[in-house]
Structure 1
Amino acid sequence: MSNDVPGRSCPPRRALLAGACAVGVTAALAGCQTYGTAPVAAPGGPAPAPDGSGGTAAPDGAPAPALAALADIPVGGGKIFADEKVVVTRPTAETVKAFSATCTHQGCTVTEVTDGTIVCACHNSVFDIADGSVRGGPARAPLPAANVAVDGDTIRLA
């Protein structure tokens, strides 16, 4: 049977199928994209103190700037430091933790710390404040840990 029918303006069936396959393959490949996570500290960030005290120091040897006072981080909650790309949490009164503030799903900055969780409002991923593990949402990888040091009542990047 021929597709050359006088007065017919439809494309041949083979051309339609080829076009449909190309669209399907393109859509499937777009769904296979992967996303990385941003590093927690930028190059040139805080370095260990040269005196071996275990504290932190800026590249010029001065102490790393304070992120917050210990009292600024509520027990059972936390605080996001977007400029430093870190979220500091306090799961218990005796424990201070820090994680990358960059969501492992698609790289948005997390937006809130509430009810024992770190929330990314971009796609509703939720992470645990104690270990950064995924509690819900499309994220599959935990938030990477970041290093902080508590120096008396001051929290600094480590």
Structure 2
Amino acid sequence: MSGSQREPRTVCRRTVVTAVGGAGLAVALTACGSDGEPSGNGKKDTGSTEAGTGGTPGGTADGGKVLAKVADIPEGGGKVVGDVVITQPVKGEFKAFSAKCTHQGCAVGSVADNVIVCPCHDSRFDASDGSVKGGPAPRPLPPTAVRQEGDSIVLA
């Protein structure tokens, strides 16, 4: 071979997989949304509630944002409302946590039998304190302060 010609360079499979994976991650992170834009439905939070509560639209007289009606949160269960999951571990006691799983940031999907479940990798959290009950989540769900105001659950 002469000095001006090069041998063809081979690329390792690992290099190709890493490059493709990095591009896919960039697309996935872009699709997750930001700046108050929820993942998945492409709608921005307009300040209204999903629970169709009465009174001040999206809030209460003292400024707390209405998240749900008390009747919408079953005992031993809960409801995901935007970026918050509200639970009722025992009758009349309402708790709320970030709806963002501490494993990879997926939105938790359901609450039943006092367990909050993330559908992405099956992390499970205790509905009374947000602690990890199973799955790959490394930390508990961070609490969100809420209070009952009449027949509504509002941000405290």
- Give the TM-score category using the shorter length: 0.5 to 0.7
Alignment of 1:58-137 (within 5 A): 63-82=63-82, 85-137=83-135
**How far, CA to CA, are the matches of 1:151 and 1:64 in structure 2?**
9
**How far, CA to CA, are the matches of 1:62 and 1:147 in structure 2?**
15
Segments of 5+ residues of structure 1 without an aligned counterpart are 1-18, 27-37, 39-44, 46-56
**How far, CA to CA, are the matches of 2:95 and 2:148 in structure 1?**
10
**How far, CA to CA, are the matches of 1:136 and 1:62 in structure 2?**
38
1:157 pairs with 2:155:
yes
Deviation at 1:62, TM superposition (A): 5.7
Give, as a single letter, the amino acid of the residue that structure 1 aligns with 2:71.
A
**How far, CA to CA, are the matches of 1:68 and 1:150 in structure 2?**
10
Give, as a single letter, the amino acid of the residue that structure 2 aligns with 1:122.
C
Which stretches of structure 1, 4 residues or longer, exceed 2 Å deviation after superposition? 61-65
Deviation at 1:116, TM superposition (A): 1.2
Segments of 5+ residues of structure 2 without an aligned counterpart are 1-10, 19-33, 35-46, 48-57
Match of 1:54 in 2: none
Deviation at 1:87, TM superposition (A): 0.4
Structure 1, residues 93-128: CA drift from partner, whole Å, max 9, x if none? 131100000000000110111121000011110000
Deviation at 1:65, TM superposition (A): 3.2
Greater C-alpha Rg: 1
How does the TM-score come out when normalised to structure 1?
0.60
How does the TM-score come out when normalised to structure 2?
0.61
Structure 1, residues 57-89: CA drift from partner, whole Å, max 9, x if none? 97xx8633321111111011111012xx10000
Q: How many residues align?
A: 121
Higher relative contact order (CA 8 A, sep 6+): 1
Structure 1, residues 105-153: CA drift from partner, whole Å, max 9, x if none? 0001101111210000111100000000000000020000001111122
Structure with higher strand content: 1
**How far, CA to CA, are the matches of 2:62 and 2:87 in structure 1?**
25
Identity of aligned residues (%): 52
**How far, CA to CA, are the matches of 1:114 and 1:131 in structure 2?**
14
